[in-house]
A and B are shown apart, each in its own frame.
Chain A
Amino acid sequence: MKRGKFALLITLFVMVFFYLPVVIVAINSFNSARFGGEWKSFTLVWYSKLFADKNIWSAFMNSLLIAFSSAVLSMILGSVAAFALEKYKSRFQTIHRMLLFSPLVVPDILIGMSLLIFFVAVQIQLGLMTVFLAHVTFSISYVAMVVLARLQDFDSSLYEAALDLGAGRFNAMRLVVIPLVFPGILAGGIMAFTLSIDDFVITFFVSGAGAATLPGYIYSMMKHGFPAVINSLSVLFVIATFILVLMSRKFLVKQ
């Protein structure tokens, strides 16, 4: 069949473009030569060095702490915001909606820069706390967007049926609406967690000198000498992403 041959060709080219660099890095992570212009010999030394590096682990712990706490708070704030948007169609909600969706179209560097100046102006010490505040700020919008999409699919007659059957509004919410919308809330939380773990630019602006998260630590390694453990770290990152994507696809398909 000739149809779509060209499209297939471009698609395959794009896949090679996506994965060739990653494959080279993966091969290099087992190469005892530093930059892999040539193959010297097979080694696991970069992996053992990686696991022995205490700084990487403490940066990773900082990342997990920030990601978990900011995901929980933004999950609550974003979901409540989505409920308000869906339930009340007032003029105030139009402004609320614009406010919620604006951060999605502002480049990271502007969010980071504006928060840096703000924290300096109101004299809040930069550190893990300011990183946490910044991550909640950019995550709320994503959670609200995901939960809102779920709420729009929700059949509101179920809520009314619960009311007719004598449930109070609080119980109808607690026993009917929230359990049905919960997968959306959870998906929003997972998204917030991932965005937080990944973020470098905003964190870099608001973290000050001490509070390095993992991407910040990777960046400083890249700037200062580019040690070969970066290769092995990258491989683990890509594998972890693959597993997470496959798991989330399975989870979504089953739904």
Chain B
Amino acid sequence: MKPSSYSKKRNELLSSFPSFIWLVILFVIPIGVIFAIAFKAADPYGGIGEEWTLSTIKELFNPIYPAIFWRTIYLSLISTFIAILLALPVGYYIARTGKRMREIFLVLVIVPFWTNFLIRIIAWKVLLHPDGFIKKILVTLSLADPNSILLYRPETVLIVLVYSHLPFAILPIYAAAEKFDFSLIEAARDLGASRFQAFRKVFIPGISSGIVAAFIVVLIPSLGSYVIPELVGGASVEMIGSKIAQRSFVDRNLPHASALSALLMLAVFIPLFFAALWQRKAALTGKVK
């Protein structure tokens, strides 16, 4: 007995509606509200004003914002680039090594992946503290002045961004490398390619889907990072995320925070758009299934 198309439609709606309605109410509408509130102004009591206005958007051109915006973009791009550069040899090595070593290294990568990220930042706070371990070593080797400060610098934010997101880069690259046919590299070597040429011209294109995935999963949280600049960057290395939190909780200016959030949303959308475009092209040319 085949169910009628009417009851099939009813079953489809019944099974889709719980998640559909939940996400419309608690995901789509709130994101829409952010864009709407960006066209309001704050009232003096920390609430949201009645009138529609462009003044909040105009304030984004206040000179402090472009600086924060560009810092967010370049710190995110550089940290993503470094993370992928490190993840490539790691993914390659783990995919090629023996079964036992592979399991050990995988666990060693997955543990930081799952460790609470505040805890992982704590480790750096301890390490870089003025009375901490690294400072002591640098001063002993006279590589640093006893009065120098290691925390609250852009380089520190960069290191901690790489540290936090590196496992996210390694896992997709490893997953792609594991499926890669390594005899292709041997073939390239037999045909006269140097080891580096074979790596660059055969291995890298062969795992490009993993690299694009790594790019997205590292870049997006970097663009939105708030805790890392807040805790190891301080007032001198603010990013958009830390500004959004500051506007919401310290200044209690929700329209301003919304305008910044809308800007961040657009910044996230651009790399996603290109990744989707790449995937479409790759699917058409048969590179990825």
B30 & A115 in contact (Cβ 8 Å cutoff): yes
What DSSP secondary structure best describes chain A's contact surface?
helix
Asked if B18 is at the interface of the complex by the 8 Å CB criterion, the answer is yes
B114 & A237 in contact (Cβ 8 Å cutoff): no
Q: Which of A203-255 contact B (CB under 8 A)?
A: 204-205, 215, 218-219, 222, 226, 230-231, 233-234, 237-238, 241-242, 244-246, 249
Contacts of B282 in A (CB 8 A): none
B33 & A118 in contact (Cβ 8 Å cutoff): yes
What DSSP secondary structure best describes chain B's contact surface?
helix
B26 & A218 in contact (Cβ 8 Å cutoff): no
Asked if B112 is at the interface of the complex by the 8 Å CB criterion, the answer is yes
Q: 1/0 contact trace for B121-157 toward A, CB 8 Å?
A: 1111111010111011000000000000000000000
| Cβ-Cβ contact count across A and B, 8 Å cutoff | 242
A7 & B89 in contact (Cβ 8 Å cutoff): yes
Number of B residues with CB within 8 Å of any CB on chain A: 83
Asked if A106 is at the interface of the complex by the 8 Å CB criterion, the answer is yes
Knowing A35-B131, A37-B131, A77-B18, the reply to whether A245 touches B114 (Cβ < 8 A) is yes
Contacts of A133 in B (CB 8 A): 26
In the assembled complex, the Cα of A109 lies from the Cα of B220 at a distance in Å of 11
A114 & B31 in contact (Cβ 8 Å cutoff): yes
A105 & B227 in contact (Cβ 8 Å cutoff): no
B126 & A117 in contact (Cβ 8 Å cutoff): no
Knowing A15-B108, A81-B19, A242-B111, the reply to whether A24 touches B27 (Cβ < 8 A) is no
Knowing A14-B166, A21-B124, A140-B22, the reply to whether A118 touches B30 (Cβ < 8 A) is yes
Asked if A50 is at the interface of the complex by the 8 Å CB criterion, the answer is no
A107 & B268 in contact (Cβ 8 Å cutoff): yes
Looking at the assembled complex, report how far the CB atom of A141 sits from the nearest CB atom of chain B, in whole angstroms. Answer: 8
Looking at the assembled complex, report how far the CB atom of B137 sits from the nearest CB atom of chain A, in whole angstroms. Answer: 10
B117 & A136 in contact (Cβ 8 Å cutoff): no
* Most chain B C-beta atoms within 10 Å of own C-beta, residue among A114, A137, A242: A114
Q: 1/0 contact trace for B1-37 toward A, CB 8 Å?
A: 0000000100010011011101110111111011001
Contacts of B112 in A (CB 8 A): 18
B115 & A21 in contact (Cβ 8 Å cutoff): no
> Which B residue's beta carbon lies closest to that of A23?
B123
Looking at the assembled complex, report how far the CB atom of A209 sits from the nearest CB atom of chain B, in whole angstroms. Answer: 11
In the assembled complex, the Cα of A92 lies from the Cα of B248 at a distance in Å of 36
Residues on A lying within 8 angstroms of B by beta carbon are 3-4, 6-8, 10-11, 14-15, 17-22, 24-25, 28, 34-38, 76-78, 80-81, 83-84, 87-88, 90, 92-93, 96, 99-100, 102-103, 105-111, 113-118, 120-121, 133-134, 136-137, 140, 144, 194, 197-198, 200-201, 204-205, 215, 218-219, 222, 226, 230-231, 233-234, 237-238, 241-242, 244-246, 249
Q: List 11 A-B contacts (CB under 8 A).
A: A15-B108, A35-B132, A77-B18, A99-B28, A107-B221, A107-B241, A114-B33, A115-B30, A117-B30, A133-B26, A137-B23
Residues on B lying within 8 angstroms of A by beta carbon are 8, 12, 15-16, 18-20, 22-24, 26-31, 33-34, 37, 48, 86, 89-90, 92-94, 96-97, 103, 105-112, 114-127, 129, 131-133, 135-136, 163, 166-167, 170, 195, 216, 220-221, 223-227, 231, 241, 244-245, 248, 254, 257-258, 261, 264-265, 268, 272
Question: 15 extra interchain contacts, Cβ-Cβ under 8 A, other than A19-B108, A84-B16, A107-B268?
Answer: A10-B90, A14-B86, A14-B90, A17-B163, A18-B163, A25-B126, A109-B244, A120-B48, A121-B33, A136-B22, A140-B19, A140-B23, A222-B231, A231-B122, A241-B116
